[in-house]
């Protein structure tokens, strides 16, 4: 077996990549499932916005829990005039046991992922989504 590994180790790389992809996908799903079933809603303020590569924006935000202020960040699809969102408040869903597991909810898709209804009060955001 050891001799086989020495001569064919390159053949194992695709298998290892598949295992890693499955591992990371299951971790993400567990994190989202935890928010979907046990998440608590609150409001958070966007404190900083950074433009990422391609069509991504990174929002830094803060929100209050019973144990204090939590600072986190999320990525989102590209939004027109995204600086308009700076210092505005949006819903945040977080895990009570691990507040660092949180999602800032701005666009309809983000609400769908965590099993929440997109509120009518945020309908104005749809005009900023890049199509």
pTM comes to 0.74
Distances from the Cα of 125 to the Cαs of 22, 34, 65, in angstroms? 34, 26, 25
Predicted pLDDT at 20: 58
Contacts (Cβ under 8 Å, ≥6 apart) of 36: 114, 115
Distance of CA 97 to the CA centre of its chain: 17
- What would the two tokens of residue 44 be? 């958070």
How high is the pLDDT of residue 38? Answer: 86
Strand, coil or helix: what is 130? coil
What pLDDT was estimated at residue 86? 94
Residue with tokens 């955001």: 125
Q: Which residue has the tokens 């869903």?
A: 93
Per-residue pLDDT of the chain (131 residues; tens, 9 = 90+): 667 656 666 666 676 666 555 555 445 577 888 888 889 999 999 999 988 777 778 999 999 999 899 999 988 876 778 888 999 999 999 999 999 999 999 989 899 999 999 999 999 999 888 77
**Per-residue confidence (pLDDT) for residue 118, from 0 to 100:** 95
Q: Would you state the pLDDT for residue 129?
A: 83
Instruction: For residues 82 and 54, give the distance between their C-alpha atoms in angstroms, rounded to a whole number.
Output: 15
Residue 48: the pLDDT is 95
């Amino acid at each position: 077996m050891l001799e086989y590994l020495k001569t064919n180790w390159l053949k194992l790389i695709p298998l290892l990549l598949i295992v890693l992809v499955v591992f990371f996908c299951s971790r993400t799903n567990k994190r989202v499932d935890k928010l979907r079933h046990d998440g608590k809603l609150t409001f958070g303020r966007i404190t900083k916005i950074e433009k990422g590569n391609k069509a991504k924006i990174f929002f830094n935000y803060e929100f209050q829990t019973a144990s204090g202020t939590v600072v986190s960040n999320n990525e989102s699809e590209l939004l027109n005039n995204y600086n308009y969102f700076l210092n505005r408040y949006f819903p945040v869903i977080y895990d009570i046991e691990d507040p660092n597991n949180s999602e800032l909810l701005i666009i309809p898709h983000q609400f769908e992922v965590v099993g929440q209804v997109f509120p009518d009060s945020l309908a104005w955001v749809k005009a900023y989504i890049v199509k």
